[in-house]
Chain A
């Protein structure tokens, strides 16, 4: 009898030990091609279950209240941020959006919900490349220099916290950001080591570029390199895009932009990779056009807008937009960004500036600071070959690398969401 009892006990113990490991399914992402992963929405079954509505307060901050907003940005009334709040005392996490994205972009909303569900307050900050951030919160009004961006973000985060302090009770501070917001998180964390306003307990970089210049070079090539005949055929390419939407509509009998619809359409007729790549390129080109136009107007013009002109709410901006779309991040770097820093420091070479805009530049800090973690995808399209492995080496066991997912395509995958939440809770993924 005792033997049987022991046997049963052993069996139960083994089960409980083996159980979770067996139950845990291996990571699976429906799009294997990184461009597909980056662009296409996933069907609902591959998305984490998140609350539909979370208690949110949107508010504005004015880091430079004496600054006058030019008439052409008449609709801008300060930098909008959001707070997602818990009723009780809770840790607070700051999230920084990716290139050109605002505090309430779809990826940001997903993150807000995931962290709310896990018991955090969440303050969301738009990207320093986002137009309203340049107008209101950037000191130099020339985004892209990581030390300056970090100072601007830090200032904005402090003001945002001041605005909502009376509403919430906070235990500790955490920080994360995706894409450009990921690399900026690292620099904000570094700044916090000396400023000590937040004393972040943990910081997670999600799909950050290793080198800004390398990544923007890749993104610039996506548009020009994948449109047949180059960017001068953008209008022809766009008309083709509309035609394929039309025929998809005709084939499916209905049309929407849900993940389920897109996956169904994809199963019928997978889009060509060059097409998807150009779509990613166009999306970045639109963001860069916004950023460059805003920075240029704020700084008095001369790059894509005339110096000393007056624009107002009825001024046609279409020509500037078309120039902006055709001006890559790398053009911005060589023609506008570098000259600014070169004027301040005549000894600075382009290569030195390029080297500064990287995680490599603060590698020592990243290696030694145990609170910083990395989440990345092996097939991220913004990374040069070897860069993900390099970051893996820097972060060691603080890195979680998924084999697929493209650039931020899997951020809402249940496994990835679980990893993010567990990282901040101090558990292993």
Chain B
């Protein structure tokens, strides 16, 4: 086992090195023999001046992003997913669901603060009610009786809050391990994390004071999150998967911000 992990780490470093050494040009390399195609972009694609095409997203770092996308593919394949597989192999499905609920309940904090910051008082109230019900009736959040009572989660994060107040996406970013994002949402992610850590460190005699437990909690959260995300890098088999993911991520966030 340790041997195979070592092999994987070496492999990962190799991949990273190749990634850094390889240039990030997004334009295909032309040679003296290069000939234009029958169907050329300028003739086939007609878009009104100033408008963006359906799959065009501001992506000035595209070369770098595509490299990170590739890195994530290998990271998933050789490190992240094997860990997730061990986790799901060891844990009974029932226990996995309890873990998921527990984590979701703790992170209601983020939904609460961001609903409040957007002055969505009804949603803030719902989030508070969910937390109260699930923490008590749902035994510290292990179960989610609130949803069965039709009190649904009101997901909001700081990226959405920024968007709500008119902050634009900024350039698209593919984050190592975490995947698709953009400058605004990455900022949001960091802000939420800082706020969360601060809040839970204030809880007196809170279990978050113990560094070991904190570490385990973060690790389990990461594994649980990956487990619940069915997306697999290059699982679609489409040569345009990067473009599709970029478009869908941006669209999804747009819908979430507007909500």
Contact = CB atoms under 8 A, between A and B. Distances in A.
B255 A232 contact: no
A335 B251 CA distance: 34
A307 B33 contact: yes
Contact of B35 (A234, A238, A308, A321): A308
A323 B66 contact: no
B255 A318 contact: no
B44 A326 contact: yes
Contacts of A126: 237
Interface stretch (A71-79, A390-398, A411-419): A71-79
Interface stretch (B50-58, B79-87, B162-170): B50-58
Interface string A47-73: 000000000000000000000000011
Contacts of A311: 28-29
B239 interface: yes
Interface stretch (A9-17, A138-146, A202-210, A287-295): A287-295
Interface string A279-300: 0000000100110011011000
A317 B243 contact: yes
B34 A306 contact: yes
Nearest to A294: B239
B31 interface: yes
A266 interface: no
B74 to A, nearest CB: 9
A238 to B, nearest CB: 5
A179 B242 CA distance: 27
B2 interface: no
Given A310-B31, A314-B23, A322 B45 contact: yes
Contacts of B237: 102, 126, 130-132, 290
A315 B66 CA distance: 8
A316 interface: yes
B47 to A, nearest CB: 6
Nearest to A241: B251
B65 to A, nearest CB: 9
Interface residues on chain B, size class:
35 or more
A312 interface: yes
A317 B239 contact: yes
Interface in B51-102: 51-56, 62-64, 66-67, 70, 73
A245 B55 CA distance: 18
A319 B37 CA distance: 12
Interface string A233-264: 01111100010011001100111000000000
Contacts of B242: 317
B251 A242 contact: yes
B41 interface: yes
A284 B131 CA distance: 44
Contact of A314 (B41, B67, B234): B67
A333 interface: no
A302 B37 contact: yes
Interface residues of A, number: 60
A301 interface: yes
B26 A315 contact: yes
B38 interface: yes
Interface string A305-349: 111111111111111111111110001000110000000000000
Nearest to B35: A307
A323 B28 contact: no
Nearest to A233: B48
Contacts of B137: none
B37 A314 contact: no
Given A242-B254, A286-B238, A310 B53 contact: no
B39 interface: yes
B66 A290 contact: no
A303 interface: yes
A255 B258 CA distance: 13
B26 A314 contact: yes
A344 to B, nearest CB: 19
Contacts of A190: none
B39 A323 contact: yes
A323 B44 contact: yes
A186 B176 CA distance: 47
B63 A309 contact: no
Contacts of B46: 232
B231 interface: no
Contact of A235 (B23, B35, B52, B243): B52
Given A310-B29, A314-B26, A326 B259 contact: no
A161 interface: no
A304 interface: yes
Contacts of A324: 240
Given A305-B37, A323-B39, A316 B62 contact: yes
A119 B20 CA distance: 51
A235 B28 contact: no
A323 B41 contact: yes
A306 B35 contact: yes
B25 interface: yes
B36 interface: yes
A102 to B, nearest CB: 5
B34 A321 contact: no
B188 to A, nearest CB: 19
Contacts of A313: 22, 66-67, 70
Nearest to A231: B46
Contacts of A294: 239
B178 interface: no
A245 B22 contact: no
Nearest to A238: B54
24 contacts: A75-B70, A75-B233, A130-B237, A131-B238, A131-B239, A237-B54, A246-B255, A246-B259, A249-B255, A286-B244, A293-B239, A304-B37, A309-B28, A309-B34, A315-B25, A315-B26, A316-B27, A319-B45, A321-B55, A323-B39, A323-B44, A323-B45, A327-B44, A336-B38
Given A310-B31, A315-B66, 5 more contacts: A75-B70, A237-B54, A286-B244, A290-B237, A317-B239
